[in-house]
Amino acid sequence: MRIPYSGTDFINIPPPAGSGYLKALQLFNELNVLLVDAVFKEAMIYKRPQSETRYYVLHFDDVYISGTAKIMIDDEQLQKTNTHHCLVRLTSNIFSFAEELPPGMHIKSIKVLFDEKWMKKYLGLSGDTSVLQKYLSLKTESFDIEPMDDEYKKLMEEILSVPPNDPFQNMYLQNRVALLLERFFTRIHSKADLVGGVFKLTEDEIQRLIKVEQSLIKNFNEAPPTIEAFSKMVSMSSTKLKRSFKEMYGNSIYSYYQKLRMQKARELLLTGEYTIKQTAEAVGYINTANFITAFKKQYHILPTQVLQK
């Protein structure tokens, strides 16, 4: 495949190589971001060797795979065949990494590269943080821990659809990429027990609980299903479901729902596009005062203080 490169940060994929684009940019002066919305007509192989200088890549991938794609991390291999690969994953160059992609794949992807200095400065984290170490140590097993939900997809679409000549492009992208990063790290920490694998659940039970969690937080502006409805959906007794969910996610079903509901509200406020009343309605509150009380209970600040940021 020969694609002309002009030395700019934007590459159009011309026929017959494929269609779409790749765009590289730097945000906050410390984050390197690669945006991809392209179809490649030929098979591709990507390799990244292990390196002593540690850095991390957070991948947001929405890909339809026709054929078989292979992912290798050190000596572990994951295959995906004829499927919709829609996941968020964190990788590090402490392991070698390679991908073999079949021809004809439509790849929509955002890749954010950062180092330990950035993690410490903006997230208060280091590469030695236990949850991150546990997550990375899972290698290929970690790929299915964080499926991409509707909120991730919405943020991705907003980022990939920004016109390249928009004068406020970087300001807008910084906001949306920051929300993606915050969302990932918040959710990984909320799943610390899942990452650590400290519970005694079968693989089938884990998959059923993930299905419950995805259904639970799918749409915050509607009341969540009842315990009985969840039990029926995953063929698990109510008692076992409640016990297993708390064991895996560290909270009861509705406490977990409320926690992520408030997180969604905070994300909406941080975009600057929603009033407090609109945010309350978006996460299912009829009474704005009740929303403000619930928000303050979780974050110890008022929604107005988030808007001021």
261 and 120 in a single domain? The answer is no
In whole angstroms, what separates CA 90 from the centre of its chain? 9
Amino acid 296: pLDDT: 93
Identify which has the larger pLDDT, 46 or 113. 113
CA distance readout (Å), 269 to 124, 257, 283, 299: 22, 18, 12, 13
29 and 151 in a single domain? The answer is yes
Q: Please give the share of the chain, as a percent, with pLDDT higher than 70.
A: 84
In a domain, 196, yes or no: no
Does residue 253 carry a pLDDT above 90? yes
In a domain, 93, yes or no: yes
266 and 134 in a single domain? The answer is no
157 and 254 in a single domain? The answer is no
CATH code of the domain containing 111: 2.60.120.10
51 and 129 in a single domain? The answer is yes
Q: State the residue for tokens 């992912």.
A: 71
Residue 253, phi then psi, degrees to nearest 5: -55, -50
Q: State the residue for tokens 């490649």.
A: 40
Domain count, the chain: 2
What is the rounded average pLDDT of the residues 217-233?
91
241 and 105 in a single domain? The answer is no
What is the rounded average pLDDT of the residues 74-100?
81
41 and 143 in a single domain? The answer is yes
**Domain hosting residue 54, numbered range:** 10-167
Token representation of residue 249: 């996610």
Which tens digits make up the pLDDT trace of 164-213?
666 677 788 888 888 888 888 877 776 665 665 555 777 678 778 888 98
32 and 145 in a single domain? The answer is yes
Of the segments 33-47, 49-63, 224-238, which one has the largest average pLDDT value?
224-238
Is the distance from CB of 63 to CB of 20 less than 8 angstroms?
no
Amino acid 7: pLDDT: 47
Q: Which of 93-102, 117-126, 219-228, 298-307 has the weakest average pLDDT?
A: 117-126
CA distance readout (Å), 266 to 37, 62, 199, 292: 28, 25, 30, 11
Residue 242, phi then psi, degrees to nearest 5: -65, -45
What is the rounded average pLDDT of the residues 293-298?
93
CA distance readout (Å), 214 to 150, 253, 293, 299: 10, 12, 26, 23
214 and 278 in a single domain? The answer is yes
216 and 282 in a single domain? The answer is yes
| Residue 202 to residue 179: CA distance in whole angstroms | 33
In a domain, 143, yes or no: yes
What is the rounded average pLDDT of the residues 215-239?
91
Last residue of a domain, one of 167, 191, 214: 167
Identity of residue 281: E
Amino acid 275: pLDDT: 94
Angle subtended at Cα 171 by Cα 167 and Cα 176, rounded to the nearest 5 degrees = 125
Is the distance from CB of 13 to CB of 22 less than 8 angstroms?
yes
What is the rounded average pLDDT of the residues 105-111?
91
Last residue of a domain, one of 148, 167, 186: 167
Identify which has the larger pLDDT, 133 or 233. 233
